[in-house]
Amino acid sequence: MKVLLTGGAGFIGRPVLAQLVAGGHDVTVFDSLRADVHDQPPAVQNLVVADVRDADAVTAALAGVDVVVHLAAKVGLGVDLNDIDDYVSSNSLGTAVLLRQMGRLRIEHLVYASSMVVYGEGRYECARHGRVAPGPRRIEDLAQGDFEPPCPYCGEFLQPGLVDEDACPDPRNAYAASKLTGEHLASAWARETGGRVAALRFHNVYGPGMPRNTPYAGVAALFRSSLERGEPPQVFEDGRQRRDFVHVRDVASAVAAAAVADHPQVAAYNVGSGTVHTIGELAAELSRAYGGPAPVITGRFRLGDVRHITASSDRIKAELGWKPSYDLAAGIASTVSEPQS
């Protein structure tokens, strides 16, 4: 099978490339090598250096392709409105250009890298009102250390749970909005062309090769960078924010499974480890693994963050036969022991 892998030179892209090649597929990597992601050009075979918004370059790269894996995106929190047009252009317009050219060439299968951020806050239950959606976070509450979202009806604190793919999306920053727009565009493309799309909603990805000191670095990478400088990880809020941390190789195996699967025409899948950890626990695990100073709970906050978001990955396990291989301890051990980017 011939695969076009956009964003294939990145943190997630390189393990996806390795998985696809190991599966016997012919892979062309398409990557713009953005300066805010790549300090130096990576050693990647069959690399086309171009922007996914360049229709001519996309058309040339799509020649003879059977399936497209679309990872290319500007990522990050997207809380600065100075970046909002770049998120829309890089992510939404880039996806639209790719889909248009796929339609013209009658390429019928897309695996789209989405994100947990499309949900906004995760699933919550109120003891009195059942399943409810919390309202937007308020600066005055966060400044007072009131981090847990209250029930919008009675004001009592809510119990977080696992969010599934049928939850109503609620993107709360520019990046999240752009990823959800990509899902909607891909869904429209599938219905208009008869193609198929699998949108994989990655949860918090970590592992060897995490970018450092860039807007693309997630919380695990930021903690690691602090420890490598001999400094304690700086944990925002009270450290009790719940997340699902999934190893990059598990993400890669999920992508590879979706690329060959006979999934429904328009399918969304959570890709998580299935185990809930707090951000404070992640920081403590990294500190132990590096033999560094204990994390510092700062009480600081970002309005664009969400309090709790953890996944149910039952659907991808049932429909694609995928399952994660790494628990947090093993994943952290590989992150510490293997070469980093």
Active site residue ranges: 175
**CA–CA distance, 324 with 118 (Å, rounded to integer):** 22
**CA–CA distance, 334 with 339 (Å, rounded to integer):** 9
> Which residues fall within 8 angstroms of residue 70, CB to CB, at 6 or more apart?
6, 7, 52, 95, 98, 110, 111, 112, 113, 182
> Which residues fall within 8 angstroms of residue 122, CB to CB, at 6 or more apart?
160, 161, 162, 163, 242, 306, 308, 309, 310
Contact 149, 298 (CB under 8 A): no
**CA–CA distance, 123 with 119 (Å, rounded to integer):** 9
**CA–CA distance, 25 with 263 (Å, rounded to integer):** 19
User: What kind and span of H or E run contains 338?
Assistant: none
**CA–CA distance, 29 with 57 (Å, rounded to integer):** 12
